[in-house]
Amino acid sequence: MLFWIVIAFLTFAVAASFLLPLIRSGGRAEVQAREGAIAVYRDQLQELERDKAAALITVQEAEYARTEIARRLLATESGAAVANPKQASRHILAQGFVVLLVPVLGLGLYLALGSPGLPSQPLAARLAAPGNDLNLLITKAERHLMENPNDGPGWDVLAPIYMRQNRIGDAQLAYQNAIRLSGETPERLNGLAEAFVLQNDGVITDDARDLFQRSVVLQANNPRAQYYLALALEQSGKREEALAAFKKIAAESPKDAPWQPLVARHIAQNGGAPVNPDASRKSVPAPLGNPDAAAVEAAQSMSDADRQKMIAGMVASLDAKLQADPQNFEGWMRLVRSYAMLKDQTKAMAALKTAVKTFPAESNEGKQLIDAAKALGLPVDEVLK
């Protein structure tokens, strides 16, 4: 019953929003017409007196005219002037159309497309069986952490997901809690530092640089932190030091490492030649800072099934965002790789085909997509046909 009361209230509100301009416009037009008529009649009375004084009309004619003008003036001032019947008719038809159309059309669409017989689904019931709904999975994890705020692995899982959803403030808090409860690891320090970087529009702040340096101390072979430390040198105008740092990353990384093209671009920007020129063709460019698989596996607060659902939900969410915004090249690269890593070749090929429609195979982005698919073992010949 409450549902139908809400529907009736919303229908009334929508109809009122359409009717209000019609009512106001009709009232304003009527007032303006009446004020104009009153001004005309008063001018006529003044003109009549001038004609009488100039002996242009007789006294008897003046009295007859004054009586008629006065009668019309009194009728207009009292609001008895006759309104424009065509205009009034148009307003009445428009108002009637709105009053009938909104409820009938809304009810018809709901009966055709809605599910009036579907039982209500309380939030608790939906959280118990969230399926692949990423928002419900996140809500479930957040509720768990509200009840168990000292669950370090739970914060570990939630932090990278917040980063993916661009909830930078929440991600920063989650990483800080994970570090406080579970200790420092390179992944957690890198994640927290990247949150600081994103909060400052890509600028490597002193706090972020300190976190990356601590991450390198814990793990010497740490290209993710080394990249940002090199970028900090570049932003500070220390091009020679930045060039040396980027070259060191390129030399120490595998030739097919996914970050090689990004590093090669920075080497070129700082006046150097790429250490590994073939990397831009063989590797898959991907943004540094994707959630690490170890962090997901550390989620002891969730069952294996829930973790798998959350990962699948993240990929499905990215897929949906790319369908709405197909110009996101880096997003397509991540999506193709994600489906390939999930061993879902059908969806990986579907994502690749859709991406190539936006970024043709002969373009630079298209070539990178094709090269990435080849590196992942996908049958790219199907796309190039």
Give yes or no for residue 157 having a pLDDT over 90: no
Of 99-103, 135-139, 189-193, which one has max mean pLDDT? 189-193
* DSSP, res 342: T
Q: State how far Cα 9 lies from the chain centre.
A: 29
| pLDDT of 284 | 35
| pLDDT of 270 | 86
| pLDDT of 299 | 43
Using a 10 angstrom Cβ sphere, with 0-12 exposed, 13-18 middle and 19 or more buried, the burial of residue 44 is middle
Residue 104's SS3 state is helix
| pLDDT of 83 | 47
CATH superfamily, domain 134-272, is: Tetratricopeptide repeat domain (1.25.40.10)
| pLDDT of 55 | 76
Q: What is the mean pLDDT of residues 95-106?
A: 69
| pLDDT of 339 | 82
Neighbours of 13 (CB within 10 A): 10
CATH of 303-384, one of 1.20.140, 1.10.3470, 1.10.287, 1.25.40: 1.25.40
Give yes or no for residue 214 having a pLDDT over 90: yes
| pLDDT of 96 | 67
| pLDDT of 287 | 38
Nearest CA among 62, 71, 88, 64 for reference residue 37? 71
Task: Please state which of the ranges 230-239, 248-257, 307-316, 361-370 shows the lowest mean pLDDT.
Answer: 307-316
| pLDDT of 295 | 41
For residue 291, report the phi and psi dihedrals to the nearest 5 degrees. -55, 135
pLDDT in tens, 228-277: 999 999 988 898 999 999 999 999 988 888 888 889 989 988 887 655 44
Average pLDDT over the chain reads: 75
CA distance 144 to 130: 14
What is the band of 306 on the pLDDT scale with cuts at 50, 70, 90?
low
Which residues neighbour 27 within 8 Å (Cβ) at sequence distance 6 or greater? none
Percentage of the chain beyond pLDDT 90 is 18
Q: Is 377 left (phi over 0), alpha (psi -120 to 50) or beta?
A: left
| pLDDT of 289 | 36
Residue 359's SS3 state is coil
Which residues neighbour 24 within 8 Å (Cβ) at sequence distance 6 or greater? none
| pLDDT of 345 | 85
| pLDDT of 71 | 75
pTM above 0.75, yes or no: no
Q: Please give the residue that has the higher pLDDT: either 288 or 152.
A: 152
Please name the residue that has the structure tokens 């990249």: 227
pLDDT in tens, 33-84: 667 777 777 777 788 788 778 777 787 777 877 788 777 777 766 654 444 5
Nearest CA among 276, 262, 184 for reference residue 230? 262
What is the band of 292 on the pLDDT scale with cuts at 50, 70, 90?
very low
